[in-house]
Amino acid sequence: MAWLRGIEGVVTPEEHREALEAATAEYERARARGYSHAYKSDHMSAETKINLIYRAYCAQYAVARWWGVPDYHVNINSFKSEPDVPPFFEVRYAVSALADFAKCWPGDRDGDRLIFVRGWPALEIVGYIPVSLAKTRYPLYDWEKRGAFHKIPIGDLWPL
């Protein structure tokens, strides 16, 4: 596998603050409605869950800044009806800087592009792939029965 080097993701202090506020609001809303976290994380504290959501939102800010989206703000009310970063980026994030695959969920919109970001506190925008291609090329994979997804090796992502 060829070494793939992405682009450094930049997030301003104000964007960090907004990401944390949005993560806290999303967690509180989900808890009030009785929703469980997507990754079977009942063993995690509320603080840990909020921190994971916060980091994923920082990844969205980094992609928006790289793509040049003016006045970007995280939208916690889209419920998969629109891309994370306009006009077509669905952001996938992994905390580990060594993560070697991206997840494409069956419910992702076919017309979007999945873009993968990894690492913390440094964010690396690794690459992207059209969602429709990811769903066609990669079979569903269900790791530890946590929900099936299309597993895309980072070496197969398109360069930025």
Judge if pTM exceeds 0.85: yes
Specify the number of domains making up the chain: 1
Our CA angle for 119, 120, 124, nearest 5°, is 40
Determine whether 2 is exposed, middle or buried from the number of CB atoms within 10 Å of its CB (0-12, 13-18, 19+).
Answer: exposed
Q: Quick check: is 151 in a domain?
A: yes
Q: Quick check: is 2 in a domain?
A: no
Q: Quick check: is 101 in a domain?
A: yes
What are residue 137's DSSP bridge partners?
none
What is the per-residue pLDDT for 41?
65
What is the per-residue pLDDT for 37?
58
Residue ranges for the chain with pLDDT beneath 50 = 1-3
For residues 93 and 59, the answer to whether their CB atoms sit within 8 Å is yes
Q: Quick check: is 1 in a domain?
A: no
* Distance from C-alpha of 151 to C-alpha of 68, rounded to nearest angstrom: 28
Q: Quick check: is 78 in a domain?
A: yes
Residue 31's domain comprises 7-156
What is the per-residue pLDDT for 39?
52
* Distance from C-alpha of 78 to C-alpha of 70, rounded to nearest angstrom: 18
Q: How far apart are the first and last CA of the chain?
A: 18
Q: Quick check: is 142 in a domain?
A: yes
Q: In the structure encoding, which two tokens stand for residue 141, read together?
A: 């994979």
Over the stretch 18-55, which tens digit does the pLDDT of each residue have? Answer: 999 999 999 998 888 877 655 556 678 889 999 999 99
Chain mean position to CA 99 = 13
